[in-house]
Each structure stands twice: as C-alpha cells, then as structure tokens.
C-alpha cells in the first residue's frame, strides 16, 4: 500500500459511542496499482453497517505498488482488513499488544 494516511473514516456517531469493529474486504487491484472499487466485496462484516459502509467508501482512495510477475505489472485479488479502533475502547480478540 502506498497511502501515507489510511482513507477510512470512522463514523462519528460510532466513534462517540466507542463502538469498534473489523471489516474484511476482497479487493481487485489492477496492474496500475489502483483498486477497482466496483469489484470490492465484504467478506466478513463488522456487525455495524456504518463501519462496513465506511470501509467500502475508503477503498477508491487506496493506492498500491503494482504486483509483478517476472517484472511485468499484473492485476491481483487480495484480502484487506480494515480495523476501526477507539483509543479508549477495549482490546478486541486478535489485536496485537
């Protein structure tokens, strides 16, 4: 991923309530390193539709270094997790310490 800042925006109402979650996406990255947004699918929803929508909304701004096969850029499909965490929220299962 080439983005310096992640393009995913925590929904304000959920942030204020300290609601956290993970969204697991399947992305298709073209040979130019750009995500094809209409190909993105939610593999595992967070359980909060607003978090899922925020994850999908940020996908079009992702930028990747193109995958290469023998030096030639190629499209790839990948699994991409999006984690929404509140600094005062509890640690969720699977989080690193």
Q: Report yes or no: 61 and 54 within 8 Å, Cβ to Cβ.
A: no
CA distance readout (Å), 58 to 38, 70, 71, 90: 12, 31, 29, 24
What is the pTM (predicted TM-score) of this model?
A: 0.88
For each of the domains in the chain, give its residue range(s) and CATH number, in order of start. Answer: 12-84 (3.30.2420)
Quick: pLDDT tens for 7-46: 999 999 999 999 999 999 999 999 999 999 889 999 999 9
């Amino acid at each position: 991923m080439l983005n310096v800042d992640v393009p995913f925006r925590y929904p304000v109402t959920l942030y204020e309530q300290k609601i956290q979650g993970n969204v697991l996406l399947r992305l298709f990255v073209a040979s130019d390193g750009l995500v094809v947004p209409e190909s993105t699918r939610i593999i595992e929803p967070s359980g909060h539709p607003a978090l899922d929508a925020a994850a999908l909304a940020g996908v079009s701004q992702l930028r990747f270094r193109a995958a290469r096969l023998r030096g030639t850029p190629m499209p790839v499909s990948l699994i991409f997790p999006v984690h929404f965490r509140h600094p005062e929220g509890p640690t969720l299962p699977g989080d690193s310490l």
